[in-house]
């Protein structure tokens, strides 16, 4: 088999991968702007709760983002589902805040339980969103 046959899917791979990374960066920028705490400053200070919550949110977004790559039929389709995933993950953050009072304050005070809560809710919501994406 000729190498060009092996690499025939590379342009599509590259397009979907770049789009996914771009959406991950966009999500991270939006997410860190809407939270009432500064994740990166807190993480630099050694705040484990902030690291857990941010990691969970990124994983929670990457799960449906990966599903959107897998199940999309085009870049436009992928973009649409990535956008839906972003909106769902942001909504999950706001729902998590409704259930736990002063969630950002608790994370700032290094309450690990708050970080675990937000991270777990984010991953769970992302997994459900990913599973909901079918062909």
Angstrom distances, CA of residue 86 to CA of 6, 52, 63, 79, 93: 33, 19, 11, 10, 11
pLDDT in tens, 16-32: 999 999 999 999 999 99
* CA nearest to 66, candidates 82, 80, 53: 82
**pTM of the entire predicted model:** 0.91
Query: In this predicted structure, what is the pLDDT of residue 7?
Result: 82
pLDDT per position as a tens digit, 52-66: 999 999 999 999 999
pLDDT at 97 over 70: yes
């Amino acid at each position: 088999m000729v190498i060009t046959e092996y690499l025939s899917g590379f342009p599509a791979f590259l397009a979907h991968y770049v789009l996914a990374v771009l959406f991950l960066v966009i999500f991270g920028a939006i997410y860190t702007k809407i939270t009432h705490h500064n994740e990166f400053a807190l993480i630099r200070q050694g705040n484990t709760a902030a690291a857990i919550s941010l990691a969970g949110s990124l994983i929670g977004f990457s799960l449906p983002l990966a599903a959107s790559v897998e199940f999309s039929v085009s870049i436009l389709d992928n973009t649409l589902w990535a956008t839906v995933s972003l909106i769902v993950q942001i909504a999950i953050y706001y729902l998590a805040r409704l259930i736990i009072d002063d969630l950002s304050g608790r994370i700032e005070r290094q309450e690990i339980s708050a970080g675990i809560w937000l991270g777990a809710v984010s991953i769970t919501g992302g997994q459900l969103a990913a599973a909901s994406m079918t062909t």
